[in-house]
Structure formats: structure tokens, C-alpha cells
Amino acid sequence: MRDLRQDKKFTRTYAPVDEFGTPTGVPFDGTQTFTTANPELLNVTDHGDGSAEVAAVGGGALGPADLTFTATPNSGGPVVVIPDTINVIVGDAEGFAATDSPDEEVTPD
């Protein structure tokens, strides 16, 4: 899981690796897709090449959002599904908001 401020975005990229996590250098032959179960929190722009832009929707939409990467080989081999959670959080302070108390009597009646 990673945090993402509600006014930010990032690019996520997956590449084939061996059992030790070493990049294979061999292009993946199949389809690669990113999806989210929470479009009210995340906008996902899938590039179809193992990468996607993941952007918070913003506007106060906060909370955990599911992000799933799926790689389906053309050879009929096993499908790889990698789930993740992106926690959309409040952005950095960029100003101040004033709050006034109710009016009070200055002098007693």
C-alpha cells in the first residue's frame, strides 16, 4: 500500500522478472491491464504496455482504493494478478481557512 495525496498522480510500471526479482529483459507476450474497483477515488489511464497513470480524483474523495494489474500471456500460461491498495489522503496545506465563532454580546443589556 502507498499513500497518494488527493491532488497528485504517479506512473506505475510492471516488467517481467525471474523468481529472484531480476528483470528478464524479455518483452511480455500478452495483454497487460490496470483496473480499479474505486473510480470515485482513482482515475487510472492504462497504457497497455505494463504502465498506467494513477491519479487521485480529488475534491475531498479520500480513502483506500483497489488497484489491480493483470498480465495474460498469449501462450495460454497462467494469468498473473497483482492487487494493491492506494490510500488517497489529504493534500499538503496550501492556505488557511477561517472559522468564526458565533457573535457574542459586547456589553450586557
CATH of region 2-89: 2.60.40.1080
For 6-63, what is each residue's pLDDT tens digit?
999 999 999 999 999 999 888 899 999 999 999 999 999 999 999 999 999 999 999 9
What sign has the CA pseudo-torsion 13, 15, 19, 21?
negative
Beta strand extents in 1-109 (DSSP E only): 2-5, 9-13, 30-36, 42-46, 51-56, 63-73, 80-89
Model-level pTM?
0.82
Summarize pLDDT for 53-98 with one digit per residue, the tens.
Answer: 999 999 999 999 999 999 999 998 899 999 999 999 998 888 888 9
